[in-house]
Amino acid sequence: KLPFGFSLEAEAAFEAGHTRADVGKQDWNTRKLAYSLDFSKMTCKLGDNLQALRRLDAKGDQTHPDPSLEHPYVAKRLAGRVDDWLTDAAFFDAFKSQIGLPSGVTADSIFDFSRNEDFRGHTSDLKPMTRGGQ
């Protein structure tokens, strides 16, 4: 969760119609962190960390991006994935069968599949390491 001052400063930039904004120059930012917002993609970057940004109204309901659609940042991260037997749905079905989750629990409420990487075809020229210093 971001500081309240961040929300006020980000909201002011959004309301002013900016597509991009650097946030964190005001007094609330005691750690002097530099947040970069991209409202066209609804992302927030802090250092090397890029996160999906969601705008909520006073009741806590999401207004931007459209809550009925997948977040643009998540869609971009998932684009280009190869469809095969090892899908997010297959993983979650296997997970549910072993854990026994209550009905109504969704995969997205537990996992962030946008960060998945497939290493099955990965090759490396690095020498394997073993424990014990050998």
35-38: strand order across its sheet:
20-23, 35-38, 43-46, 49-52
Residue 134 pLDDT > 60:
no
Type of residue found at 59: K
> Considering the entire predicted model, what is its pTM?
0.55
Virtual torsion, Cα 20, 30, 2, 112, nearest 10 deg: 90
Query: Token digits for 7?
Result: 């929300």
Residue 130 pLDDT > 70:
yes
Calculate the alpha carbon distances from 38 to 17, 42, 50 in Å.
12, 6, 10
pLDDT digit string (tens) for 86-117? 778 888 889 988 988 888 888 888 888 777 77
pLDDT digit string (tens) for 28-87? 566 777 788 888 888 888 877 888 888 888 898 889 988 888 888 877 776 666 667 777
